[in-house]
Amino acid sequence: MSADDTYAVELKEVTFTRGSRTIFDSVDIRIPRGKVTGVMGPSGCGKTTLLRLIAAQLKPDSGQVWVNGRNLPELSRADLFDMRKQFGVLFQSGALFTDLDVFENVAFPLRVHTKLPDEMIRDIVLMKLEAVGLRGALELAPDELSGGMKRRVALARAIALDPQILLYDEPFVGQDPIAMGVLVRLIRLLSDTLGITSILVSHDLAETASIADYLYVVGDSQVLGQGTPAELMNSENPRIRQFMQGIPDGPVPFHYPAPDYRTDLLGGD
């Protein structure tokens, strides 16, 4: 049993491999309830995989994934389906249904997971769109929306079922500064006012550090460091310092391993 109600999500000694590659090697991660937690690390380090493990879209090779007191790898398919109602997921791409308008995109989880009458579904969709500032866009098709608006509609859909946990996969990628600022404000608002536990996977250092209460830095199949943004900024660990300060060369080398350059260009002796 998960020991502590302070944490909405706990990964205990989780190992996950893909083919011969170990993505996570016995990692421990604890996500505080009602806070914004950022998970950062270089591209390809397994950040999205981590979200998928938490959302029970992937099963670890070993270890435990506790969410609100239940160990996901032990749950039946029916229990997992039920459990997923506790999650809202904002995918990197937005992942809106292109053949549905904005209203029906946000209504979709309510139609799938509830038996509410249309009248109540309409109320809730309008409430969620009002929260993200797009109630006036309800009849638009996704291809009529800017990238930032798509992300906000996706956020409205992610909160349609009032999830306790919101997972954000690279929410800031491809966003202009205004859209990014709007998203940062919304993520913070949802956490502060509704007590939603937010887990935000990103390699966007400035935005993530500005919004997160707590940060994990992952890489090399491990948790490299954790702490408040300020603690990690001042870390003595060279790997964390390289990542947090955006230094191009360091423990994570700029050059991919290669044979000797001179030999490559001029040939051997």
User: Which positions lie near other proteins, rule CB under 8 A?
Assistant: 110, 113-117, 119-120, 123-124, 127-128, 130-131, 161-162, 189-190, 193-194
Nearer to other proteins, 119 or 260 (CB): 119
Which among 47, 55, 57 has a CA at the least distance from the CA of 27? 47
Residue 259 Cβ, how far from other proteins at the closest point, in Å? 58
Nearer to other proteins by Cβ, of 124 and 232: the residue is: 124
33 Cβ partners below 8 Å, 6+ apart?
Answer: 5, 6, 7, 8, 195, 197
Q: Which residue's CB is nearer to other proteins, number 54 or number 190?
A: 190
- The nearest distance, CB 123 to other proteins, in angstroms, is 4
Residue 88 and residue 158 in contact, taking contact as beta carbons nearer than 8 Å? yes
Q: How far is the CB of 31 from other proteins (least distance, A)?
A: 21
Residues facing residue 202 across a β-bridge = 40
CB of 136 to other proteins, least distance (A): 12
Q: Which residues does 131 contact at the CB level (< 8 Å), separation at least 6? A: 156, 159, 186
CA distance 68 to 85: 12
CB of 74 to other proteins, least distance (A): 24
Nearer to other proteins, 85 or 241 (CB): 85
Q: Which is nearer to other proteins, 130 or 144 (CB)?
A: 130
Measure CA 218 to chain center.
13
